[in-house]
Amino acid sequence: MYAIFRALGKQFKAEKGKTIQLPLMDAEPGSTVTFDEVLLTSDGEKVVAGTPTIKGASVQAEVLGKAKGDKIYVFKFKRRKNYRRKTGFRAKYTEVRITDLTLS
């Protein structure tokens, strides 16, 4: 059984017991968060798609912690002008464990 839900402008696949990484949220580790924008659910036999969301369906998750992703390097230059710039970026994310899927 799984569900596709929308959170923070992106879509994620949720299965009970799985751990997923979401963009940084304002939630403390150990707290529970609920996502109500469920777009699609499947129980193995039947697939239900919302228009655009499914009424009464939700995904509950427990916040495990916050972390940073791998570093991405950005390098730009202009030829023959001695212009070189190297910068890095590390995206912050929140790690959550899916605890319950409520389907309508």
What digits encode the pLDDT tens for the residues 34-81? 999 999 999 888 999 988 899 999 999 999 999 999 999 999 999 999
Most distant CA atoms of the chain, gap in Å:
63
Per-residue pLDDT at 20: 95
Whether pLDDT at 21 is above 80: yes
User: Residue with structure tokens 């996502």?
Assistant: 35
Whether pLDDT at 104 is above 90: no
Per the document, the length of the chain is: 104
| Closest to 37 in 3D by CA, of 55, 15, 13 | 55
Residue 84 in tokens: 């070189």
